[in-house]
Structure formats: structure tokens, C-alpha cells
Structure 1
Amino acid sequence: MNNIIWILILQLLYVPCFTLRTIFIVKQLRTQATILGAIEALIYIFGLSLVFDGEQSFMSMLVYALGFSIGIFVGTLIEEKLAIGYTAIQVNIPTLNQPLIDRLRQEGYGVTVFEGTGRDSVRYKLEILTKRNQEEGLYDLICDYQPNAFIITYEPRKFKGGYLLKAMKRRKRKSTKKAPESSSIS
């Protein structure tokens, strides 16, 4: 019974490490991926040695598989909370919503506005780049001003230059200084 508990615990450590290591590799965070890879390998060896040690019971193998599936769930939750990286957001709106654009810029977001022709009329596209951990707040802000906006999100691998980095630092400083307040549109 003691081995079964250890197998479950090791799987709950191993799989989130595996998930995060994979994400770090994709995001080209080599040092973090290397460290997690070493930790992951040790946990994996200990876990397998417990599963295949001695009698190799069906229960220990079942717990190994169950721990693996729960570990995937835990790993994805951790990744969502860390929200590593950036998100490029395209907002398509039917009219030029200057109050929305002004508010986004006031909040420190870099916004580029494009005009294009849609099926029925002229439409406007806003391009915004933000950190992934600020994505939901940005969605809420956009929906407050433009509930019918069509929003597409991309995850850029690389970018260089522009207004973004200074604005993000200012926005972060500003948000840590003031207490959260309810947003209302006048």
C-alpha cells in the first residue's frame, strides 16, 4: 500500500514537470527545460522502479496510469496559471470605436488600427500584443466597450522593437500601485 501512495505522488510530480518542460522547449527557455528534464528523469526512474519492483501488481500499474492522467490535468492548470509568453490579439469591429482605442492606449496597450472592407461594409481591425497573464483582463475591457467584437488570439514566437515592452512595464507598475476598481463605461 505504501508503494501505491508513492507511485501516485511521483506521477503527480512527474507529469506536470513533463508538461512544463515541453512548454519551456517550445518557448525556447532552454535552461528551465534542462533543469526540469533532469528532475523529470529522476522522478520517472523512481516511479517505474516502484511499479516494477517485486510483485508488479495490477493495482500499482493502475495507480501509475491514474496518476499520469491526473498529472496531465495538474500540469495544464499550472501552465495556465503561469501563462508564460505573449499573445497577439486581433479585434475585428464594425465601426471605429475611438473610446475603446483610447482606453486601450490609456491602459498602456499598443494598438494598431487597420481599416478594411468586409462582406457588407467597412470594418476595423485592432492589433494588440500583450502578456498571456493579462489576456483575460484585456478581453473583459474589449467586451465592455464592444460586446459584438470578433476576437482572434495568436501566440507569437518572436517579436522585436515597438511600443510594447515599455508600456507593459508601466501598466504593471500602475496596476500594483492602485487598488482594483470596478470598470464602468460612461
Structure 2
Amino acid sequence: MLSIILIFVLQLVYVPIMTLRTIFLVKNMSVAASSFGVLEALIYVFGLSLVFSGHQSIAGMVTYAVGFGIGLYIGTRIENRLAIGYTSLVVTLLDINEELIVLLRNKGFGVTVFEGMGRDSKRYQLEILTKRNRENEAMNIIEEYEPKAFIISYEPRKFKGGFLVKATKKHINRYSKIHQ
């Protein structure tokens, strides 16, 4: 019975580590990914040795699988809380909403406005690049002011220059002057 509990606990630790390692790889954070990879391999080998040591029970294998599934859920919840990286929102509006644009900018979001032609009339598109941990905040503001807006959210892989980079550099410079 103790080995079944240990297998389950190992899966609850192993799978979130594997999930985070994969996300760090995708986000090109190779040092963090490598560190998590070492830890993942150690736990994996230890866990499998418990499952396949001598007495191979169905309960041990089922526990391994259930722990894996629950571990995936925990890993994705951890990653969502960390919200590593950036997100880009493309918001399509039927009419220009100056109040929304000003509010987003006052809250620190960089907003670029484009005018285009839709099937039936003019459309306005807002492009907003923000840190992922502020995506829900931006979405809530947009939903409040433009409930019929069409919104696409995606994660950019690379970017250079612009409002967000300048704002980040200002914050870094201010932080380093305070802590000298």
C-alpha cells in the first residue's frame, strides 16, 4: 500500500515538473528547462522502478496513470498562475471607442489602432501587446466597454522595440537606481 501512495505522490510531483519543463522549452528558457529536465528524469526513473519492481500490480499501474492525469491538471494550473511570457490581443470593433482606448492606455497597455474595411462597413482593430499575467485584466476591460468585440489572443514568439520594451526598460532602470 505504501508503494501505491508513493507512486501517486511521485506522479503529482513529476508531471507538473514535466509540464513546466516543456513550457520553458517552448519559451526558449533553456537553463530552466534543463534544470527541470534533470529533476524530471530522476523522479521518472524512481517512479517507474517502483511500478515495475518485482510485484507488478494492476493497482500500481492504475495509480501511476491516475497520478499522471491529475499531475497534468496541476501542472497546467501552475503554469497559468505563473503566466510566463507575453500575449497579443487583436480586438475588432464595429465603431471606434476612444474611451476604451484611453482607459487601456492609462492602465499601462500599449494600444495601436488600425482602420480597415470589413464585409459591410468600416472596422477598427486594436492591437495590444501585454504580459500574460495581465491578459485577463485587458480582456475584462474590453468586455465591459465592448461586449460585442471580436478578440483573438495569441502568444508572440519574438518582438523588438515598441511601447512594451520601452516601459520594461524604464522599470528596470528605475529598479536598478533604487537598489544601488
Q: Give the TM-score taking structure 1 as reference length.
A: 0.88
Distance 2:80 2:45 in 1: 27
Answer whether contact 1:8 1:67 (CA < 8 A) is retained. yes
- C-alpha deviation, 1:170, in angstroms: 7.8
**Aligned counterpart, 1:17:** 17
Distance 2:134 2:111 in 1: 15
Deviations 1:46-98 (A, max 9, x none): 10111111211111111111111111111111111111110010010011111
Structure 2: where are the runs of 5+ without partners? 172-180
Higher helix share: 2
Instruction: For 2:93, give the aligned amino acid.
Output: I
State whether structure 2 residue 53 is matched by structure 1 residue 36: no
Distance 1:109 1:62 in 2: 47
Distance 1:62 1:144 in 2: 46
Deviation >6 Å, runs of 4+: none
How many pairs align? 171
The secondary structure found in structure 2 opposite 1:47 is helix
**Aligned counterpart, 1:149:** 149
Structure 1: where are the runs of 5+ without partners? 172-186
Aligned Cα RMSD in Å? 1.4
**Residues 96, 123 of structure 1: alpha-carbon distance in 2 compared, 3 angstrom cutoff:** same
The secondary structure found in structure 1 opposite 2:147 is coil
Distance 2:166 2:89 in 1: 18
**Aligned counterpart, 2:176:** none
User: What's the % identity of the aligned pairs?
Assistant: 59
Distance 2:58 2:152 in 1: 47
The secondary structure found in structure 2 opposite 1:69 is helix
- C-alpha deviation, 1:154, in angstroms: 1.2
**Aligned counterpart, 2:27:** 27
**Aligned counterpart, 1:184:** none
- C-alpha deviation, 1:167, in angstroms: 3.6
**Aligned counterpart, 1:162:** 162
- C-alpha deviation, 1:165, in angstroms: 3.2
**Aligned counterpart, 2:178:** none
